[in-house]
Chain A
Amino acid sequence: KNQVEQSPQSLIILEGKNCTLQCNYTVSPFSNLRWYKQDTGRGPVSLTIMTFSENTKSNGRYTATLDADTKQSSLHITASQLSDSASYICVVMDSSYKLIFGSGTRLLVRP
């Protein structure tokens, strides 16, 4: 069964610190992997999109990595800010355009 699992479920860090979120998937055949940021009650915002051949992609303070062999991805947030408090969702698209969502990691950045 195609699945996307994220860890941790929730995370609290101090402002200015770094953190890393994990995503493991079993989706096959794979097309691409996406990370989204979602503020409560609002639509998700795309952070990165990576295909099979891409190992890393950055968007400002957000850096995503992909290991297609182990089917693992991570999202690293550098020098966290209060505005980074949100849910971060890992999504995998298969080769037929179907999207499988992880349950998300809820991040809280404290001053």
Chain B
Amino acid sequence: DSGVTQTPKHLITATGQRVTLRCSPRSGDLSVYWYQQSLDQGLQFLIQYYNGEERAKGNILERFSAQQFPDLHSELNLSSLELGDSALYFCASSPGGATETQYFGPGTRLLVL
């Protein structure tokens, strides 16, 4: 158990819909990262927040957005969902430094029908 929690574990929805994925970091960690892992593209970095502020942005689509709240939990919002958005979405947390270990949550499996 990494100490990072993600909800829900599974999500099934339809194209065009909007969903929200939630992540609670390890106690004391200030940084939260979001990743997408689809079968054909491997792991991709989406976005990082540090203490409530966006720090780095990867290959995140404009239909996706995220935020980190004052209690440091984070949400990833996916809108206008397409079939290709079906994937495992991981959240990771770390204390915040560039060379610190990231601890991954168990992931949310999203299926868009």
Contacts and interface: CB of A to CB of B under 8 A. Distances in A.
Interface of A: 31-32, 38, 41-46, 49, 51, 89, 93, 96-104
Interface string B79-106: 0000000001010100000111111111
B38 interface: no
Contact of A43 (B42, B48, B92, B99): B92
Interface of B: 2, 4, 33, 42-45, 48, 55-58, 88, 90, 92, 98-107
B99 A101 contact: no
A43 B98 contact: no
A82 B45 CA distance: 29
A49 B58 CA distance: 20
A31 to B, nearest CB: 5
B90 A100 contact: no
Nearest to B101: A46
A45 B103 CA distance: 7
- Which applies to chain A's interface (DSSP): helix, strand, loop or mixed? strand
B99 A45 contact: no
Contacts of A93: 98
B98 A98 contact: no
B56 A96 contact: yes
A103 B37 CA distance: 11
Contact of A99 (B58, B104, B105): B58
Contacts of B106: 42-43
Between A32, A100, A101, the greatest number of chain B beta carbons within 10 A of the residue's beta carbon is seen for A101
Q: Which 5 residue pairs are nearest across A and B when measured between Cβ atoms?
A: A43-B104, A97-B56, A99-B45, A46-B101, A101-B43
Contacts of B92: 43
Contacts of B103: 46
A32 B94 CA distance: 15
Contact of A101 (B42, B88, B100, B107): B42
Given A43-B2, A96-B56, A51 B107 contact: no
